[in-house]
Amino acid sequence: MAQKYYIGLDIGGTKILGGLFDENCKMVKRSKKSTKSSQGADVIVGQICKVIDDLLEDSLDGKLVAIGAGCPGIINSKEGIVVFSPNMNWGENFPLKEKMEKKYKVPFFLGNDANILAMGEYKFGAGAGCKNIIGIFIGTGIGGGIIINGKLYEGAVGAAGEIGHTIVLPDGPLCGCGSRGCLESLASRTAMQRDILSQLKKGRTSVITEYMDKEDKMIKSSHLKNTYDKGDELVIEVVDKACYYLGISVGSLMNVFNPDLVIFGGGVIEALGENMMKKIKITAERYCMPKIFESCGFEIGKLGDDAGLYGALSLAMEQ
């Protein structure tokens, strides 16, 4: 019988990753293109097609069965519509599933990117064997995904899991979403960058100035890691503060969800790893009920950058 293939896509604000998988979930090829999000929906679709075409370039010894994809924003996964995605120029209610199925003549399944990350870790990574999982992904922003009784929980309009927009500090810093004091405004890489730059402006010194881009003042996760490891006082202070807020938020959510496992991922966690996990855990324990804390594991995701591809694969295979 001919081999079956699946494609998993991780559509981000800056890049699109793609993986071609065989029916044993082995990735046999990968591809990557820039998203060109600022140029609008048609260009984004074109870039997605380039990734798919690249993956399918060598004629397959078999048959493409389905495509799965994760994309930021509020997703209507039933109809495959990008309802609302503030960081990408899709416009409102973009019918991505319809467009892709018309072109490729195979089923196309769409989900929220952080939800898909959580699914990837649940099915193929750190979450194996657990039923109730909170996934929290810390990078430019903070995303989340919730697995309940072994299934992704998407909520009433597909917007569940917005852990980055739980309120940790009422009347705290302004968040991209318009609220104040969201976790994302306190503990994302963007929040840490803001806090470090504001302290530098006040005259504090830090070795991070030797790492960061002189022009756009961008602070990458790797810069945070290198300077944290060097013992830089300002960076440690800012990262530790982020861990404190992450710990409150996670401890608080644990009291509501009583999960088996919390999985941490995203660029910031991949860079700073156990340093952050230790601190997050200490604060979470302070704010979480003992019986709930004792029964819950804390893990760093095992799939790294590939979590989105594997999550999208699981979406494609499940349907």
Binding residues for a copy of itself, per CB under 8 A?
74, 83-84, 131-132, 144, 146, 148, 153-163, 165-170, 177, 179, 245, 248-249, 251-253, 255-260, 286-289, 291-292, 295-296
**Distance in Å, CB of 27 to a copy of itself, minimum:** 31
**Is 128 or 256 the residue whose CB approaches a copy of itself more closely?**
256
For the chain, the straight-line distance linking the first and the last C-alpha, in angstroms and rounded, comes to 21
Q: Which amino acid is at 118?
A: A
User: In DSSP terms, which residues pair with 67 in a beta bridge?
Assistant: 7, 108
**Distance in Å, CB of 275 to a copy of itself, minimum:** 21
Total number of residues shown for the chain: 319
**Distance in Å, CB of 305 to a copy of itself, minimum:** 25
**Distance in Å, CB of 286 to a copy of itself, minimum:** 7
For residues 206 and 208, give the distance between their C-alpha atoms in angstroms, rounded to a whole number.
5
**Is 35 or 166 the residue whose CB approaches a copy of itself more closely?**
166
**Distance in Å, CB of 245 to a copy of itself, minimum:** 8
**Is 8 or 111 the residue whose CB approaches a copy of itself more closely?**
111
Burial of 191 (0-12, 13-18, 19+ CB in 10 A): buried
**Is 161 or 266 the residue whose CB approaches a copy of itself more closely?**
161
Kind plus residue range of the DSSP H or E element containing 280: helix 267-287
**Is 104 or 257 the residue whose CB approaches a copy of itself more closely?**
257
Residues with Cβ < 8 Å from 188, sequence gap 6 or more? 138, 139, 140, 141, 142, 164, 242, 268
